[in-house]
Each structure stands twice: as structure tokens, then as C-alpha cells.
Amino acid sequence: MVSEKDRVLALIKEFGGSQVAFAKLLGVRQSAVANWISRNSIPAAAKTQILSVCDNLSERWLFFGEGNMFPKGTNLFYKELEVSAGRIEFANTTAKPQRIYIPGVDADAFFPVKGFSMYPTIQEGDLVGVVEIDNFEEIKAKHIYLIITRDNERMLKHIELGKANSPYITLTSDNADYEPFKIRKENVISIYRVIFHGRIPMI
């Protein structure tokens, strides 16, 4: 069982990063949060407030210290960090993740989509769930991938590998209005396979 002190410390780390930021999120004084830690006790009213502002937190964990902080299947959601279904969209490295739960989807992270290059398969405003892949050998032509480059471009594309020794990959779209283009393999820092895309009304 997780102590109430450790629950507060975990909440601070997840939702704010400091006592001051967490207190501001809850609408309480920083001294109140410090007291919960020193006394190893969170008032019932505070727990209710925490549940109302902290996304997808496990009620059982918060009240009794049992189980996981977040229900199984709860994943990171970067609401303010759009990925481009085009080419010109750069990462906002200050974006903070929230958490969402989509039953049956075990993604590394979720992102909203901006742009039309993957239309009609993926539309602007859709949510995509992705899992990281380790190397180019795992790429399959029919799948859609999130490619992150050294320039912090984040693009949703199909990937064509070409010849085995080629230093380039070709990125293609589902929308015929967008021409394929090549980028150097060495310019790619991460690749994620899209395992989910669609609209989630609650978001």
C-alpha cells in the first residue's frame, strides 16, 4: 500500500512538478500541500478536489493507496503538441502531457492531427495513437508512421525504404494532392507506428 505522503509526492511529480504548481492546480495554498506530506495525511475534501482536476487518476489508489496511480491502459496524451499530416509542423517542446484512457488501445502516446495529407484515412482533428519501433527493418509499406526528424518535424506518412543501401527513405501521403518526397535516414531520430486513429468525443 502506498502511503499518503508518497501519494502526494507522486501527484506533485505527475501534475505540476513542484508543490507550488500542484497547489495552484488544486486552488489551495502551498503550505497545505506541505502539511499533507509532513503529516502523511490527505484530507477527504482534498482527495475529492484532486480527482476533479487530475485526469484519469485511480480513485482506489488515491483514497486507499491500492493498485496503480492510473488504470491499466491509461496513456499519455499531448493535447497541445499536434503532429502534421503535411510537412510543415514543428514540435512544441514545452507541451505537457495529460492522460487518457481508450479501451483496448495500448499506445505509447496520443497526439491530435493537423493537416490533410493523409486524408481520407486520417483527417484533421483525429487522434492518433502510436508505438515506437526500433529500426527501419520493422517498417511495412501499408502502415502509417509518425516520423520525427532532427529539425523537430513530426509527420504522418507511409515509408518506402527503397534499395537496401540507400541513405534515403521516401515519405508518401494518402492524399493524391501531396507529392512523395525523400529525406535522409540519418535525419530521422524516431519512428512510431500508428496503431489507432479516430475521433474521441470526450476530447
The reply to whether 203 falls in a domain is no
**Angle formed by the axes of helices 44-53 and 19-26, nearest 10°:** 90
User: Are both 161 and 139 inside the same structural domain?
Assistant: yes
Which residue, 80, 108, 100, is CA-closest to 92? 80
For 46, residues 6+ apart whose C-beta sits below 8 A from its C-beta are 26, 28, 32, 36
Task: Read off the pLDDT of residues 6-32 as tens digits, 9 standing for 90 and up.
Answer: 999 999 988 878 999 999 999 999 999
Which residue, 55, 65, 124, is CA-closest to 89? 124
Query: Residue 82 in contact with residue 91, Cβ under 8 Å?
Result: no
- Last residue of a domain, which of 71, 93, 110? 71
Predicted pLDDT of residue 172: 95
User: Are both 102 and 159 inside the same structural domain?
Assistant: yes
User: Are both 95 and 159 inside the same structural domain?
Assistant: yes
Predicted pLDDT of residue 118: 94
For 119, residues 6+ apart whose C-beta sits below 8 A from its C-beta are 85, 174, 175
Whether 136 shows a pLDDT value over 70: the answer reads yes
Question: Domain holding 140: CATH number?
Answer: 2.10.109.10
Give me the chain's average pLDDT, please. 86
For 128, residues 6+ apart whose C-beta sits below 8 A from its C-beta are 83, 110, 111, 113, 122, 146, 156, 194, 196, 197
Task: Read off the pLDDT of residues 69-126 as tens digits, 9 standing for 90 and up.
Answer: 887 667 777 676 666 665 434 444 455 667 777 878 888 888 889 889 999 999 998 9
Cα 8 from Cα 68, distance rounded (Å): 14
Does the bond joining 167 to the residue before it have cis omega, within 30 degrees of 0?
Answer: no
The reply to whether 45 falls in a domain is yes
- Last residue of a domain, which of 71, 98, 125? 71
User: Are both 24 and 97 inside the same structural domain?
Assistant: no
User: Are both 88 and 183 inside the same structural domain?
Assistant: yes
Q: Residue 185 sits in which domain range?
A: 75-198
- Last residue of a domain, which of 23, 55, 71? 71
The reply to whether 23 falls in a domain is yes
Cα 161 from Cα 182, distance rounded (Å): 10
Domain count, the chain: 2
User: Are both 23 and 57 inside the same structural domain?
Assistant: yes
